[in-house]
Amino acid sequence: MAKLEIDSASVAYGDRTILESIDLNVNAGEIVCLIGASGCGKSTLLNAVAGLVPLRSGTILLDGKAVAGPSADRVMVFQDDAVFPWMKVRENVEFGLKIKGVPASERERIIDEKLLAVELFQAQHLYPRQLSGGMRKRVDLARALAVSPSVILMDEPYGALDAMTKERLQLQFLKVCTDTNATSLFVTHDIEEALFLGDRIVVLGRNPGHIANIIEVPFGVERPLELKRSGEFQRLRGEVADLIL
């Protein structure tokens, strides 16, 4: 059984169909990247999985159970920081755990673990305004990971970062996903990012949004940055670019 099963899912706003009959299974531990033109419905699909947008028809199952609304088993990370500016890094990571009712001693252990995973342990007593943009994204990720979600929904999380910071966070994301066997749906505009992170790339077409193509990414778990410079990577990059036009 797939971790996440999206079956004939359609979404409409009023009488306008945004997503038409989406079929997609995501396996445990898999990173599936969603790519497609602006407005084709990528965020809407994430919102549907998050339970923030109702389906017009079809089903979304997580571990075999129908998604019926938002829950901590599906967390979202956005391009804009979601950190609370009035809370220190550590308190930001703790927030979701408190809401979940996790006991204090257990909270401390989980926070330490996630701060170490995103390399923010040293920065735990700083406020968001004292962090760089890349560090704030790492707080977002630590916060998402802290509640042990079944699926991490990433909506262009690194879209606003400079190229070097982005690469560093991509590497870290891959490592964290491997270490925790996380399952993720990752929306990006960046073909290189999709190829570097994804086990599969789903290309969405528009009007209404539908799955136009699915590309199996032939790279293994070990993905050093040099992979991006390889001939095979660049060839695939061109292939995916042609599919999006």
Ligand X SMILES: Nc1ncnc2c1ncn2[C@@H]1O[C@H](COP(=O)(O)OP(=O)(O)OP(=O)(O)O)[C@@H](O)[C@H]1O
- Binding footprint of ligand X on the chain (CB under 6 A): 13, 18, 36, 38-44
Nearer to Mg ion, 42 or 137 (CB): 42
Q: For the CB of residue 226, give the shortest distance to ligand X in the complex, in Å.
A: 29
DSSP code, position 37: S
Residue 61 · residue 4 · CB < 8 Å: yes
CB of 216 to Mg ion, least distance (A): 24
Write the DSSP assignment of 128-172 as a string of letters.
Answer: GGGS-HHHHHHHHHHHHHHT--SEEEEESTTTTS-HHHHHHHHHH
Q: Do residues 26 and 2 make contact, with C-beta atoms less than 8 angstroms apart?
A: yes
Tally Cβ neighbours within 10 Å of residue 187: 24
Q: Please give the backbone phi and psi of residue 125, each rounded to the nearest 5 degrees, phi first.
A: -100, 15
User: Which of Mg ion, ligand X, none binds 18 (CB below 5-8 Å, type-dependent)?
Assistant: ligand X
Contacted entry of ligand X, Mg ion, none for residue 181, CB cut-off 5 to 8 Å set by kind: none
- For residue 197, the partner it binds in ligand X, Mg ion, none, with Cβ less than 5 to 8 A by kind, is none
Q: Give residues in contact with Mg ion (CB under 5 A).
A: 42-43
Pairing of strands 57-62, 4-13: antiparallel
* Least distance to ligand X, CB of residue 211, Å: 13
Q: Report d(CA 120, CA 81) in Å as an integer.
A: 16
Query: Whose Cβ is closer to ligand X: residue 142's or residue 161's?
Result: 161
Q: How many CB atoms lie within 10 A of CB 83?
A: 24
Q: Which does 38 bind (CB under 5 to 8 A by kind): ligand X, Mg ion, none?
A: ligand X
Of the pair 2, 37, the CB lying nearest Mg ion is at 37
Nearer residue to Mg ion within complex by CB, 102 or 202: 202
Pick the closer one to ligand X by CB: 46 or 111.
46
Binding partner at 170 among Mg ion, ligand X, none, C-beta below 5 to 8 Å by kind: none
Dihedral sign (CA 54, 59, 63, 65): positive
